[in-house]
Amino acid sequence: KQEVTQIPAALSVPEGENLVLNCSFTDSAIYNLQWFRQDPGKGLTSLLLIQSSQREQTSGRLNASLDKSSGRSTLYIAASQPGDSATYLCAATTGANNLFFGTGTRLTVIP
Amino acid sequence: DVKVTQSSRYLVKRTGEKVFLECVQDMDHENMFWYRQDPGLGLRLIYFSYDVKMKEKGDIPEGYSVSREKKERFSLILESASTNQTSMYLCASSFGTRIETQYFGPGTRLLVL
């Protein structure tokens, strides 16, 4: 069964800093890897989806990379802002369109 | 924009009650999903459905059932609510291929007393 791990569980950075969030998965036979954002008490918003044949995806200040062979993905956030404060979840899609989620990294950007 | 709505943001129920959580999506998505989210455990899949009247068990189906009578609506049913079903419940939907992202609703926070 796919297991997804996110380290660290929480991260605090000063505004303007670049940062990297890490995600690892045990089964490399994935269809895609997604990064989501979740604000407190809210649902999930999809940020980036990387197909298994791709190495990275970019959206604005966000860049996600995927290395299937090593079972790792990273989410890079450039020039962080207080509005980036949220929990970031990664999820690997395997089998019958099932998402396996990590437990998330709670990011706080300090003004 | 894809919209996934859930019938309630907050619910408080008593042990033993039958509970219905409703989810509606407006993008004609084939797939719909129910997850629960608990601190330290992340999101776990309860049930999903590929089409009307179809249902498949996820990782933690015990104590739950689902109903999909119409394509746009997917209901989660707690036949007899228990305190260990206190959780945040999230519904999602997606198009019918594996490469598509899932779109999530705002969640229902259920408290069972």
Which of B96 and B85 is assigned the larger pLDDT? B85
**Does A7 lie at the interface with B, CB-CB under 8 angstroms?**
no
Q: Which residues of B touch A44 (CB under 8 A)?
A: 90, 92, 104
- β-strands A10-14, A105-110 pairing: parallel
Q: Which residues of B touch A104 (CB under 8 A)?
A: 42
Task: Tell me the mean pLDDT in the region A56-80.
Answer: 96
Tell me which residue of B20, B1, B3 sits closest to B93, measured CA to CA: B3
Q: Which residues of A touch B43 (CB under 8 A)?
A: 89, 91, 99, 101
pLDDT at B2 over 70: no
**Does A103 lie at the interface with B, CB-CB under 8 angstroms?**
yes
CB contact under 8 A, B98 and A97: yes
Cβ–Cβ pairs < 8 A, chains A and B: 55
Give the best residue of B8, B25, B51, B99 to mutate against chain A (max A CB count within 10 A). Answer: B99
Distance from C-alpha of B113 to C-alpha of B111, rounded to nearest angstrom: 6
Pick A44's closest partner by Cβ from B41, B58, B104: B104
Per residue in B49-79, pLDDT tens?
988 989 999 989 999 999 999 999 999 999 9
| Contact between residue A47 and residue A90 where contact means Cβ atoms under 8 Å apart | no
Q: Which residues of B touch A103 (CB under 8 A)?
A: 40-42
Residue A98 binned pLDDT confidence (cut-offs 50, 70, 90): confident
pLDDT at B42 over 90: no
In percent, the amount of chain A with pLDDT more than 70 equals: 97
CA distances from A28 to A1, A49, A73 (A): 11, 16, 11
Residue A71 binned pLDDT confidence (cut-offs 50, 70, 90): very high
Task: Tell me the mean pLDDT in the region B24-30.
Answer: 93
Per residue in B96-110, pLDDT tens?
765 678 899 999 999
Q: In the prediction, which pLDDT does A6 show?
A: 96
User: How high does pLDDT run on average in chain A?
Assistant: 93
Distance from C-alpha of B20 to C-alpha of B75, rounded to nearest angstrom: 7
